[in-house]
Structure 1
Amino acid sequence: MMSETANPHLVHTDRFTAEAERAAALLDGLGADDWGQPTPSCPGWTVRKVARHIGTAHRWAAAIVRSPDGEAVNPRSLDLGFPDSYGGYGAWIREGAEDLARAVREAGPDKPVWSWGPDQHARFWARRMLHETAVHRGDMELALGRAPEYDPAVAADGIDEFLTVLPAAAAFAPKVRTLTGDGETVHLHATDGDPAASAEERAEWLITLEPNGFRWRRAHAKGAAAVRGPVGELYLFVWGRRAPGATQIEALGDHTLLDHWVTNASF
């Protein structure tokens, strides 16, 4: 549902490298005491563990894209080259991100590869790693007492991507299968969106729970439950980083329905 006239594959790859640079720059500026800070949005993790996860994910995705037969790759088989010191993590993130971007560009968007999502092509990994990096960069900032900020276009695309891949996540997050209903609706409304945009491009989403799962579309519509706020905050909300009661967003309507969505729409 992206409106860019450019190749979406290249758009996502460019956005991914920019987001990886933001994460790397954050790591470059950390003090010695910051690395052990717990990340409340990733219980049991620290800033250092999140940083290692980001760089590992990039290298894993690059190996999948380069796999000659388009097969899955065991991340434990990779030589990850973890930095010897905290000061090396920024460069390590940059190197992994640049390698993934290069792999995706060389492969082309339509190369068949393994993925756990609905799109079994190299382009899946550019988009997936964009949002993997962006959300986890936010985790580190939240751990450091900072407010994450996102490019509105990245945040809106991230909500689209989350809703697109969520059904496939049921393979390893079975509770996703409980996101069913009899037509109940959840509306996400970005308060900083462009009111003049078309219905398909406005930063609003309508999620409808049905007997066999859920469907969604970009739409300006009233839902039984609604969440309003800046699109970057909605991005954090759908990824479980903002609770319905957070001051950055406003939750309206059927709170039982909203709690049901929040509890089960995660992976």
Structure 2
Amino acid sequence: MIDHRSAYGLVTHFDPFRRIETDTLALADAAEGHLAAPVPSCPGWSVADLVWHLLEVQQFWGTVVAERVQNPATVAEAVRPAEERLVPELRAGAARLVKSLQEAAPDEPVYTWAARSDAGFVVRHQVQEAAVHRWDAEQAVGRPQALDAAAATDAVEEFLEVSTPFRTKEAAAVGGTLELAAVDTGIRWAVGEDEHGTARWHRLTDRSDQRPDALIEGSASDLLLYLYRRRPAGELPVTGDVAVAERFALRTGTD
């Protein structure tokens, strides 16, 4: 049995391939018959646009890994299928993506947009891509479900590691320290920002006497959705300065 946690550098134990396929198929199920519905968490998008986005993303990264792409400009631009083909193509594409990812060693060098340029990064990031967009689709049709706790916990740390180091130009300084506590998996992170606007974080191994300016205690699902600006800080159980939590969420682009 593969130890996915060790192989892919995950925080928790879960099967990333199963999660990618399960969440993609759940998005497809939610989208069926609702393609014209607006997606509140993706302003200006319909469910059809959301399906196409994930289909295009998965086609791109599946090609990158399958062909060991180093230059993304060599990947052919995807063509949006007719609307009636969107959901079937998404379902079929999920299986193709998982097959490509499973056939590559985690340390296989490939293009990525991050400092880590290997297939393992693609696997880890595509878990949260499918999970968050599943939530988008299910919310759009009125039946949002919590994200898988183990996968969401890993995604929170990956987000802190990869997406938050530098704040966007338009974002205000966080102005305080923040602790994120996943109450369902028991993992916590301390987050701060230096004078240059660079985020600093570490996983907490024990309770510190130093209290953060803001503490968010919620499910791993809620924490990840907060980082992706799907759940405003004001909707979550925040102890301390809510404004610190709000500014931290706004410092990072989520496109």
CA contact (8 A) 1:117 1:169 kept: no
CA contact (8 A) 2:30 2:141 kept: no
Secondary structure at 1:217's aligned position in 2?
A: strand
CA deviation string 1:113-143 (max 9, x = no partner): 1111121111111111111111011111111
CA offset at residue 28 of structure 1? 3.2
Counterpart of 2:50 in structure 1 is 50
- Mark the runs of 5 or more structure 2 residues left unpaired by the alignment: none
What aligned pairs does 1:199-218 form with structure 2 within 5 A after superposition?
A: 202-212=186-196, 213-218=198-203
Counterpart of 1:250 in structure 2 is 237
CA contact (8 A) 1:104 1:126 kept: yes
CA deviation string 1:200-255 (max 9, x = no partner): xx421110211231111121443111112122111111111000121xx2122123
CA contact (8 A) 2:213 2:240 kept: yes
Give the direction of change, closer, same or farther, for the CA distance of 1:69–1:143 in structure 2 (3 Å limit): closer
The whole-number CA distance in structure 1 between the counterparts of 2:245 and 2:30 is: 38
Counterpart of 2:159 in structure 1 is 162
CA offset at residue 152 of structure 1? 0.9
TM-score, length-scaled by structure 1: 0.80
Q: Aligned residue pairs: how many?
A: 246
CA contact (8 A) 1:116 1:169 kept: no
Give the direction of change, closer, same or farther, for the CA distance of 1:192–1:257 in structure 2 (3 Å limit): same
Give the direction of change, closer, same or farther, for the CA distance of 1:74–1:41 in structure 2 (3 Å limit): farther
Structural RMSD (CA): 2.9
CA contact (8 A) 2:5 2:13 kept: no
Secondary structure at 1:7's aligned position in 2?
A: helix
CA deviation string 1:85-137 (max 9, x = no partner): 1xx44432232222222222333211211111121111111111111111011
The whole-number CA distance in structure 2 between the counterparts of 1:13 and 1:175 is: 37
The code of the aligned residue for 1:253 comes to G
Counterpart of 1:234 in structure 2 is 223
Give the direction of change, closer, same or farther, for the CA distance of 1:83–1:19 in structure 2 (3 Å limit): farther
The whole-number CA distance in structure 2 between the counterparts of 1:106 and 1:190 is: 32
Counterpart of 1:187 in structure 2 is 179
Aligned residues with identical type, % of pairs? 27
- Mark the runs of 5 or more structure 1 residues left unpaired by the alignment: 194-201
TM-score, length-scaled by structure 2: 0.83
The whole-number CA distance in structure 2 between the counterparts of 1:20 and 1:4 is: 16
Counterpart of 1:263 in structure 2 is 250
